[in-house]
Amino acid sequence: MHVRHEGGRTVVAGANYEVTILPERYLVLLRRGSFYYGMCLLSAVDSVDRRDTSTRAPEIRPPAEKDGRIELTTECDSSVWARKTHHYLFREDEIQYWTEVEGHARLDRVFYFRGTLDGQEIASVPGFTQVFSPMPNFLEKQEFHASEYLSIAAGNDAKIFETIRGFALHGAPLCYVMHEGDSAPFLSAGILAKPGEYRFHAFEFNAPLPEEADVLEPIVGTQAFSLAYHGHQAVDGAWQTPRLVLQFAKDRFAAVEQYVRRLEAFGGTVKRTAPYQDWTFEPVYCTWHDQVALAMPGMKKTLSMAELEGGNVHFSVLNQQRCKQWLDLLAENGVKPGTFIIDAKWQKNSGDPDVDTTRFPDLRGFIDDCHAQGIRVILWHNGWDREAIPDEECCTIDGKPVKADPTNPAYQQRVKAYVRRMLSDEPGCYNADGLKVDGMTGTPGGAGLKTHGGLAGFELARSLLELLWTSAKAVKQDSAIGQFTGFPYFADLCDVARTGDLYTVKGDPNTTNAFRARIQRIVMPGVAIDTDGAERFNYVLPYEEVLKVQEAIGVPCIYQAEWLLQRRDFCSPDVRRLEAEHYAQIAASWKRYRESRRASKANEGCAAQPVMNQP
């Protein structure tokens, strides 16, 4: 890296990129070939009480060269902070950027490359029209126009439902990839934070502000990044924002993987030390879509996603007799799962799980019978559910109890007790092997959120996952916590990664299933990836084609032992019994998968992961 001066302008250059400071336009212009990104010299750090604005142009300090890198700082006046400094760190392979403030306030939002000068909004200038998000969603929309709003958040909100129908995984790498078409370069911009610093709820691109309704052409967007804290980060003295790291790569996925490895090197994740259990790589049967199929006759013709995925009718058809019947039916047709998931709702209350003995008169006996057949059993658990949880053990929004509060000491003891009840082999316990943790995209957020321990954002979500994981391992070391996540900061707590409900705008689940598995494989290279109930989302392709994709990308999984339910919006639902050819195709797929895995383990001489081939 070196610094030169051209026409009164400062230029920072290296082998991979060149940056020109344009003070008259309040831009730091990053270029590589014909690609560019004009990064605004201003970055607001708003408090909950006041927008952070400036009255003077930033003061640019002379760059300093040290150990092959170049450091540059700018000083800004602020309506909120006694002192505010922006830092740039230029290395051959990356640029890091962060803001340091001094003062006393609670943060609303931290912007990267957007601010206000003399009452005018000043933002960034793209030399690209496309932005790729690694966060899967229920539209399978991963490419966005550079003017569109994007978010990777700890939980869904109304705007997410309106724009992408909902997050398909609970978190993904906190980076976006800017590009123009399919030609390199691809520029990633990702957050570098340390454990304990993930108190923000969302990492966003083009985040709007309420007053933008009055801005000329607000649809154009600001091409700026931001972290939404909603008042849940206090500053009392000097404080630095998480760093934004920018790196070039050859393609989208290389950019995401490069970011994840950089985050790990930065110390932004928790290193996993527990081994992955060999049994988690066995094929899976889950009861859920058999339940949905049985519930369909009593339901209306047009259903929203929320209606289709929940309701008492779905829950009421699940019982011990049917679970045995479904496993027997699979066995009669030559299909033996290694893992059996009893889905919603085997328990009386989701928040404090205790078996509903009217439907499962001997859950312990049933699970012990499964173990005798070499089948592990996982129980469904709805993470944030507050059913049967006292108000005082709940977090609140605007004073109203809404979700269980994992920071509450009384609730923590409750979790330890019910996890023991679910997993222990002691008398009176169920002796299950793990939990399918669902509902995590319901992580609460917003300015009105209050928790006992003051946590919010991704830190709040991690506190619940960590509570469940540590409680499970204290009872049964080889138990498994299943998550539908692709978030690096949760990776150490994930024993099985589910690809999740495979909603997509398309008539089949194959590409969205493969995409989610690919993100999870980048984040958790050795984890078992449960490919979920794919056939339910297949409306047009041959049954076997979906099975082959599942065995190629992860652990084969079926959600239907008796009923083949296939449904898509604006299409007539198809519900019929599985036929002999379906069972034969499942058995053949699982046989191929198991043989491939055995061969892989034999070749490596240790417990290896399944061969991963992207379809």
Mind listing the pLDDT tens digit for each residue in 188-207?
999 999 999 999 999 999 99
Mean pLDDT of 461-470: 98
Which residues, including other chains, have CB under 8 Å from residue 579's CB and lie 6 or more apart?
A: none
Nearest to 437 by CA among 476, 394, 495, 387: 495
Structural domain boundaries in the chain: 2-266, 280-347+508-608, 348-358+381-498
pLDDT of residue 308: 65
For residues 508 and 309, give the distance between their C-alpha atoms in angstroms, rounded to a whole number: 18
Query: 209 or 128: whose pLDDT is higher?
Result: 128
pLDDT of residue 254: 98
Q: How would residue 573 be classed by pLDDT, with cut points 50, 70 and 90? A: confident
Mean pLDDT of 3-23: 95
Q: How would residue 614 be classed by pLDDT, with cut points 50, 70 and 90? A: very low
pLDDT of residue 370: 98
Mean pLDDT of 391-401: 98
pLDDT of residue 54: 97
pLDDT of residue 613: 43
Share of the chain above pLDDT 90, in %: 90
Q: Which of the listed CATH numbers 3.90.75, 2.70.98, 3.30.70, 2.60.40 matches domain 2-266?
A: 2.70.98
Mind listing the pLDDT tens digit for each residue in 238-290?
999 999 999 999 999 999 999 999 999 999 999 999 999 999 999 999 999 99
Phi/psi at 98 (5° precision): -160, 165
- Is the CB of residue 149 less than 8 Å from the CB of residue 204? yes
Mind listing the pLDDT tens digit for each residue in 50-90?
999 999 999 999 999 988 899 999 999 999 999 999 999 99
pLDDT of residue 279: 98
For residues 561 and 582, give the distance between their C-alpha atoms in angstroms, rounded to a whole number: 10
Query: 613 or 467: whose pLDDT is higher?
Result: 467
pLDDT of residue 209: 78
For residues 519 and 516, give the distance between their C-alpha atoms in angstroms, rounded to a whole number: 5
